[in-house]
Structure 1
Amino acid sequence: MCGIVGLFLKAPRLEPEFGALLANMLETMTDRGPDSAGFAVYGSPQAHAIKLTLRAPVGTDFIAIAPSLKDEGLEVREMIPRDTHAVLTVSKNEQSKVVEVLARVAPEVKVVGTGHRMEIYKEVGLPADVARRFSLKEMKGTHGIGHTRMATESAVTTAGAHPFTTGVDQCLVHNGSLSNHCGLRRQLGLKGISFATQNDTEVAAAYISNRLSEGDTLGQALEAGLGDLDGFYTFVVGTESGFGVLRDPIACKPAVMAETDDYVAFGSEYRVLVDLPDIEKAHVWEPKPAHAYFWQRGN
């Protein structure tokens, strides 16, 4: 049992409130996943730059790492530490070199997400504590997803927490279980895709990322998953400009959505949505089984 939340803003005036809204939704799902929590936030990009979300052991001095990168002739535009994570913004053209240098000068630091807009944070602990540690309430954003985890099939670890990302500005949260993830893992591995965990959700994220990299739209990638992904699942997917939802044909996992002129929101239960602005005016519905829902925004 896990809890999923998602929020896609249509109205720019709500962007300063985004983090506070998502944090409240995440905390509401505590009893569906008290072991760990995580979230992805899509914020403003910098021109010709990319954000690397880093994760390291408690107490790591991320700021002290920046000079080592500069000594290699790399441009460090920004390093923002947040507890065990940090967001490193570098020139888009230097991304590969930055990753190579980090592995050499700070092997304890792992790159756990890349994106022009996307930042990913996840940790073990109660959702409210995770949100507080990373200052989610203070974050601005256009859209994002979150997950609270009850680890029924694997150890309670940070690496096992959601969201999972396997592509630039692409991530996924999942409630359920895939029965054919081992076979899919092998197929995707033949395409050069590597995995950091044994979690089936990471395989689902890689599947969506691969479809998008091959030219699918988000809607096409989700619809293709209905034929290729076996099991019971609810997915909420984030991309640089998009937000999507997919339930398997049985749809045994709970899900509810709400839409107004200002936003689209997803929750595992209706109580996640009750504090959103003008929720009493929203169109509220249960997403249909085997139906891909997706929304896009301009860059």
Structure 2
Amino acid sequence: MCGIVGLFLKDKSLEPKLGAMLTDMLITMTDRGPDSAGIAIYSGANDKAAKITVQSANPEKDFANLDADLKDAIGKPVLMLVKSTHAVLEVPADQVEAARSALGQLRPALKVMSVGDSLEIYKEVGLPKDVAKRFDVSKMHGSHGIGHTRMATESAVTTMGAHPFSTGPDQCLVHNGSLSNHNSLRRMLAHEGIFTETMNDTEVGAAYLTWRMKNGATLGEALESSLEDLDGFFTFVVGTHDGFGVVRDPIACKPAVMAETDQYVAFGSEYRALVSLPGIETARVWEPEPATVYFWNH
């Protein structure tokens, strides 16, 4: 089941409305996945700083003085913005690995949701409307974003099992479907030094794309390769620092619809997720073809 939404803005004047638009789209897909939800927002890139988004099951304890403790550990200033069970840590761009290592020592219970110049991921168990409200997603701005409502079929209902998954800097993926060769891929990726934290097959799909791009492929090329290397049925919507991509497997049994105007490109598991977008009545609307890669870059 599950529901996917995505929005890539061409018109910068819409960027302050990105969170509100994605929230409406996500809530519309609630009946496709009511057990958990997540959203990835790309915004506020800074050449000199990076963002590490973390999640805690005990935020009052884990986030207390975290910025100060991390500053002491890496010897550089750290900014922290807490949003419910998540916190966004802004660290100097050249201190990302040092900061991640320090976090593992300082707060071992923290889960890293995403790392990158502009990416922030927020996800939790609960109805999409409740998850979006918890993190004030409707007030977020940015250039593009993706969201997912989950109906767990292959693993437990947990925060870490929710989508999106991020396995590389400024990369994230949401998925509707099921991969049949994810265990063999997980072993291969581990041999290549790319590790997954959950048993969710979607995280393996994200890690596969990270591996391909790490070895020089563009997003489009990585998505093309997935059609040969991934077995099963899937619809992927992927985000990178400046890009947005969509691919469906050759059978394409999962529903999908896209719309494009001069202002945006939008994706939804169903058309009803798109009906509140500005100018949708004159948009070019189509069903993405099987085994065909679609991607856009800023």
Q: Is the TM-score greater than 0.5?
A: yes
Partner of 1:85: 86
CA 277–67 in structure 1, closer or farther in 2 if over 3 Å, else same = same
Cα drift, residue 135 of structure 1: 0.6
So what's the TM-score if we normalise by structure 1?
A: 0.97
> RMSD value over aligned CA atoms?
1.0
Within 5 Å, give how 1:183-222 maps onto structure 2: 183-222=184-223
Residue 36 (structure 2) pairs with residue 40 (structure 1): no
Q: Deviations over 1:153-186 (max 9, x none)?
A: 1111001000011000000000000011111111
Query: Percent sequence identity over matched residues?
Result: 61
Q: Deviations over 1:200-219 (max 9, x none)?
A: 00000000111111111111
SS of match in other structure, 2:265: strand
Q: Deviations over 1:200-241 (max 9, x none)?
A: 000000001111111111111101110000100000000000
Query: What letter is aligned with 1:251?
Result: A
Partner of 2:256: 255
Q: Is the 8 A contact 1:3 1:268 kept in 2?
A: yes
Within 5 Å, give how 1:158-237 maps onto structure 2: 158-237=159-238
Cα drift, residue 60 of structure 1: 2.5
Q: Deviations over 1:49-78 (max 9, x none)?
A: 110001111443525111112223532342
Within 5 Å, give how 1:57-136 maps onto structure 2: 57-61=57-61, 62-136=63-137
Q: Distance in 2 between matches of 1:72 and 1:176?
A: 42
Deviates more, 1:71-80 or 1:38-47: 71-80
Q: Distance in 2 between matches of 1:82 and 1:50?
A: 18
**Runs (5+) with no aligned partner, structure 1:** none
Q: Distance in 2 between matches of 1:199 and 1:283?
A: 34
Q: Deviations over 1:18-45 (max 9, x none)?
A: 0000000000000000000001000011
Residue 51 (structure 2) pairs with residue 51 (structure 1): yes
SS of match in other structure, 1:72: helix
Q: Distance in 2 between matches of 1:63 and 1:267?
A: 38
SS of match in other structure, 2:65: helix
Q: Distance in 1 between matches of 2:41 and 2:155?
A: 26
Deviates more, 1:228-237 or 1:66-75: 66-75
SS of match in other structure, 2:24: helix
Residue 287 (structure 2) pairs with residue 286 (structure 1): yes
Aligned length: 297
Q: Distance in 1 between matches of 2:202 and 2:47?
A: 31
Partner of 1:151: 152
SS of match in other structure, 1:274: coil
Cα drift, residue 46 of structure 1: 1.7
Q: Is the 8 A contact 1:122 1:162 kept in 2?
A: yes
Query: What letter is aligned with 1:266?
Result: F
Partner of 1:246: 247
Cα drift, residue 288 of structure 1: 0.1
Q: Is the 8 A contact 1:176 1:232 kept in 2?
A: yes
**Runs (5+) with no aligned partner, structure 2:** none
Q: Distance in 2 between matches of 1:63 and 1:50?
A: 21
SS of match in other structure, 1:60: helix
Q: Distance in 1 between matches of 2:90 and 2:114?
A: 12
Query: What letter is aligned with 1:218?
Result: L
Deviates more, 1:206-215 or 1:99-108: 99-108
Partner of 1:23: 23
So what's the TM-score if we normalise by structure 2?
A: 0.98
Q: Distance in 1 between matches of 2:234 and 2:74?
A: 46
Q: Is the 8 A contact 1:57 1:84 kept in 2?
A: yes
CA 97–32 in structure 1, closer or farther in 2 if over 3 Å, else same = same
Q: Is the 8 A contact 1:74 1:94 kept in 2?
A: no
Q: Is the 8 A contact 1:58 1:83 kept in 2?
A: no
Q: Distance in 2 between matches of 1:59 and 1:165?
A: 21
Query: What letter is aligned with 1:153?
Result: E
Partner of 1:9: 9
Q: Distance in 2 between matches of 1:251 and 1:73?
A: 47
Query: What letter is aligned with 2:186?
Result: R
Q: Is the 8 A contact 2:212 2:222 kept in 1?
A: yes
Q: Is the 8 A contact 1:76 1:88 kept in 2?
A: no
Q: Distance in 1 between matches of 2:55 and 2:240?
A: 21
Q: Is the 8 A contact 2:42 2:142 kept in 1?
A: yes
Cα drift, residue 195 of structure 1: 1.0
